[in-house]
Amino acid sequence: MIDPYTWEIPKDTREDMKVPVRIYASEALLEKMRGDRTLLQAVNVSTMMGIQKWAVVLPDAHEGYGFPVGGVAAVDAEEGAVSPGGVGYDINCGVRLLRTNLSVEDVKPRLRELLDQIYRLVPSGVGSEGIIRVSTHELDDVARLGMRWAVEHGYGWERDLEHAEEGGRIPWADPGKVSDIAKKRGAEQLGTLGSGNHFLELEVVDRVEDERAARAMGIRGPGQVMVLIHTGSRGYGHQVCSDYLRIMERVMAREGIRLPDRELAYGPISAKEVQDYLGAMASAANFAWANRQMITHWVREAFEKVYGRDSESLGLELVYDVAHNIVKLEEHEVEGVHRKVYVHRKGATRSFPPGSEQVPPDYRDVGQPVLIPGSMGTGSWVMVGLRTSMDRSFGSAAHGAGRFMSRAAAKRKHRYGDLVEELESGGILIRASSKETVVEEAPDAYKDVDAVADATHFAGLAKKAVRLRPLGVVKG
C-alpha cells in the first residue's frame, strides 16, 4: 500500500514483468478485485512489449478479456505493441450526457410518455436493426467521418462536435481494413442502442459538489433533468475485434512472441497487421460516435413530441461524449521525458486536466468532463479531469461502477417482476425489450458507484462535480 487509495504490485513479483502494476482503489474495492482474475490480468499486461511506467488498474476494475476491464497501459509509439484485448470487443463503447432546461417537476408527470417515445424512436435489444440503411460506400464515409457524418446528414447540430472527445472522429481511420462481415453487421445497426449494459437514462441532478465545474457544463443545480446515453460500435466493432484477435495470433507465431495468456494477443506496432488494426479500430470508434449522435437526435425528437417544443428551446445540449474502449496515440511524460505512446483504455475514461488543448475551450478552466454511470437504479457521477491524473494513470479515470456479480448469478438471485416493482417503488420507471437483460443488469450486480467515485476522487484521477440519480431507464 502506497496510500489508502494507491496500491502496487512490484516489478519483481514475477520475472517476466517489465513494469509494476499500479492499482487505484479503496481497500474494499481491492478486495473485490482479488475475487477474480483482475490482478493476474494486470500483471500479464505489465509484460507487454514497450510498456511504459506501470500497468494501471482503476477503481471499477474487474476481470475482462486479456486486459482487466478498468485497465490502462501505455506503450512506446515505436517499440511497443498493440493488443485488441486492450481495447475490447465493443470498440468505443462510451457515454454521453445531455442537459435540459426542464426540472424534475416538469418531467415526472410525463415520464412514462417520454420513455415510451424514446423506446419507439431508438431501436434497442439484441440484434436490433436501425431505422436507416446505409450502403457500403456510405458506411465507409461513416467510418471516416464519425460524428460529423451524422451531423452533416441532419442528425444533430454543428456545435455538438465541440463537446465530444476528439470531436467525435479519429482521423487515421481506414475502413479498407474492416472486413465485409463487420460492415454487413454495422450497416444494419447504425443508430441503435443494443442490449446488455447499454442504456439510455433520464436523470435528475441530485447534488452539486463543484459549482464552478457544474456552471461551466450548464448544470444549474438539484432538480435539473439530464440524459445519459451508453452504447458503442455494436456488431461492427465486435467483428473488428474478433477478426484482428485471430490475425494477432498469426503475428505472434511469426514473430516468436510468447505470452502468459493467449487472450492478451498482440503484435509489434511496426507490423503491418497492427497498423491495419489501428485503422480498423479507428473506423469502429468513428462508427460509435456517429451511432451515439444519431441516438441523440432521436432523443431530442422524443422530447419535442412530448412537450410540443423544439429541442433547442428545451435546452437539449450535449455536455460531453467520452470513449472508454479505445487505443489512442498521445504524448505523456515518462521519467521526465515527453514520449509518444499508444494508450490502451479498456473500460477507462480519458481524464484530461484544466489547460489541456484536448479539452473544449468552455471546459478548459475546469478540466475535461468525466462521466461515470452507475448501475440501473442507482446514481451516476459527472467528474472533471485533474493534473495529477496525467502522472498517475496517463490521464485516465474509471468508466462506471464496474461489474460485481456475473450475469448468471444475477439471474439466479432476481425475478423480473420483483425487480421492476422495486425500481418503481423507488420512483424509477423502466422500459426494456428483454426481461432477461433487466435481471442481468440488476443494481446489485455492480459495485457501489459512490465508492468508485470516491476512490477516483481521492486517488487524484478526477474530481467529483455532480451526482445524478435516475428517473427512468430504457434498456435493450
What is the DSSP secondary-structure string of 266-300? Answer: -EETTSHHHHHHHHHHHHHHHHHHHHHHHHHHHHH
Are 78 and 339 contacting, i.e. CB atoms less than 8 angstroms apart?
A: no
Residues 257, 254: Cα–Cα separation, whole Å? 8
SS3 assignment for 218-272: CCCCCCEEEEEEEECCHHHHHHHHHHHHHHHHHHHHHHCCCCCCHHHCCEECCCH
Say if residue 198 carries a ligand binding annotation: yes
All domains of the chain in start order, with CATH: 6-78+88-475 (3.90.1860.10)
Residues 411, 438: Cα–Cα separation, whole Å? 9
Residues 24, 455: Cα–Cα separation, whole Å? 7
Please return the burial class of 303, using the count of CB atoms within 10 Å of its CB with bins 0-12, 13-18 and 19+: buried
Per-residue pLDDT of the chain (476 residues; tens, 9 = 90+): 999 999 999 999 999 999 999 999 999 999 999 999 999 999 999 999 999 999 999 999 999 999 999 999 999 999 999 999 999 999 999 999 999 999 999 999 999 999 999 999 997 755 666 677 788 899 999 999 999 999 999 999 999 999 999 999 999 999 999 999 999 999 999 999 988 889 999 999 999 999 999 999 999 999 999 999 999 999 999 999 999 999 999 999 999 999 999 999 999 999 999 999 999 999 999 999 999 999 999 999 999 999 999 999 999 999 999 999 999 999 999 999 999 999 999 999 999 999 999 999 999 999 999 999 998 778 999 999 999 999 999 999 999 988 777 778 888 888 888 888 888 888 888 988 778 888 888 878 788 999 999 999 999 999 999 999 999 999 87
pLDDT at 370: 98
Out of 62, 399, 414, 457, which one is annotated catalytic? Answer: 399
Residues 169, 191: Cα–Cα separation, whole Å? 16
Q: Cβ atoms within 10 A of the Cβ of 448, count?
A: 21
pLDDT at 299: 97
Q: For residue 414, give the C-alpha cell.
A: 432476481
* pTM reported for the whole predicted model: 0.96
Say if residue 324 carries a ligand binding annotation: yes
Count of residues making up the chain: 476
Are 24 and 461 contacting, i.e. CB atoms less than 8 angstroms apart?
A: yes
Say if residue 390 carries a ligand binding annotation: no
Are 90 and 305 contacting, i.e. CB atoms less than 8 angstroms apart?
A: no
Q: Contacts by 161-166 with C-beta closer than 8 Å and gap 24+?
A: 162/360, 162/361, 162/362, 163/317, 163/318, 163/319, 163/320, 163/321, 163/360, 164/96, 164/289, 164/318, 164/320, 164/321, 165/94, 165/320, 165/321, 165/322, 165/323, 165/350, 165/368, 166/323, 166/328, 166/358
In sequence order, the 6+-apart residues with CB closer than 8 A to the CB of 208 are: 214, 219, 221, 222, 465, 466, 467
Residue in 239, 231, 267 with CA at minimum distance from that of residue 178: 239
Are 428 and 377 contacting, i.e. CB atoms less than 8 angstroms apart?
A: yes
Say if residue 457 carries a ligand binding annotation: no
Are 227 and 98 contacting, i.e. CB atoms less than 8 angstroms apart?
A: yes
Residues 369, 371: Cα–Cα separation, whole Å? 6
399 flagged as catalytic? yes
Say if residue 163 carries a ligand binding annotation: no
pLDDT at 432: 81
Residues 380, 247: Cα–Cα separation, whole Å? 38
Residues 448, 24: Cα–Cα separation, whole Å? 15
Say if residue 375 carries a ligand binding annotation: yes
Q: Cβ atoms within 10 A of the Cβ of 136, count?
A: 12
pLDDT at 378: 87
Say if residue 238 carries a ligand binding annotation: no
pLDDT at 420: 83
Farthest-apart Cα atoms in the chain, separation: 65
